[in-house]
Amino acid sequence: QLQLKEFGGGWVQAGGSLRLSCAASGMPYTTYSMGWFRQAPGKEREFVASINWNGAMTYYADSVKGRFTISRDNAKKMLYLQMNSLKPEDTAVYYCAAGSVSNWYKEYNYWGQGTQATVSS
């Protein structure tokens, strides 16, 4: 069993930056590819970014490409999402997940509880 906990969300003005972190505990973290998803009120859960087990491969949704960067530190069992040039439409609850590099949320086995990121115009 793998436990995930996100933190680092908050409020920021448009154009600003936030860094989300996700701490993993439990089963060997390095065996899992990881991803970030987000969900805004009234909308479906949306893929943001994913990374393979050693960080060599990363994938991004078109809507965040060039603005967001996913990374991981396997020694610390941490996953990160650096979010720059934030827009109001980036406002959502952000979730980290483990188990795949897919952009389909059902391919992931473990989920954190989410952290809110709010971008004001």
SS3 content of the chain, % helix, strand, coil (to 5): 5, 50, 40
pLDDT at 101: 87
Q: Mean pLDDT for the chain?
A: 95
Is 41 in contact with 116 (CB distance < 8 Å)?
A: no
Beta bridge pairs of residue 24: 4
% of the chain residues with pLDDT over 70: 100
Q: In degrees rounded to 5, what are phi and psi of residue 51? A: -145, 140
Give yes or no for residue 83 having a pLDDT over 90: yes
Query: Which DSSP string corresponds to 40-85?
Result: -TTS--EEEEEE-TTSS-EEE-TTTTTTEEEEEETTTTEEEEEE-S
Which tokens go with 39? 């969900």
pLDDT at 23: 97
Q: 19-66, pLDDT tens digit by residue? A: 999 999 987 877 899 999 999 999 999 999 999 999 999 999 999 999
Q: What is the mean pLDDT of residues 89-114?
A: 94
Q: In degrees rounded to 5, what are phi and psi of residue 3? A: -105, 140
